[in-house]
Amino acid sequence: MGSDNTTIKNLFGTIDPFVTWDVSFLWNLPRGVNIALSGMNLLDTRPPLVNIEQAYDGFTHDPKGRRLKLAAAYQLGR
């Protein structure tokens, strides 16, 4: 079985790891106001290259880089 894995690695290579730092904060303020701040891929890590058409695996990696999101919500009647 080990030789099968070696053959697969020789044919297709290996994909480097892809680790991102993501963080989210949620503030529940008085009178039904909520504010959320999220940061995805804060270190702006590029996805590893793979030997397919887009040069990255779109099913498991995101090529967009660093993204920040701010959201606010208000609940009426509170």
Reported as a single tens digit per residue, the pLDDT across 25-51 is 999 999 999 999 999 999 998 888 877
Reported as a single tens digit per residue, the pLDDT across 6-26 is 776 777 677 788 889 999 999
35 forms beta bridges with 27, 72
State the pLDDT confidence band at 78, using cuts at 50, 70 and 90: low
More confident residue, 52 or 78: 52
Q: What pLDDT is attached to residue 23?
A: 97
Contact 35, 44 (CB under 8 A): no
Q: What pLDDT is attached to residue 46?
A: 87
Pairwise CA distance, residues 73 & 33, whole Å? 6
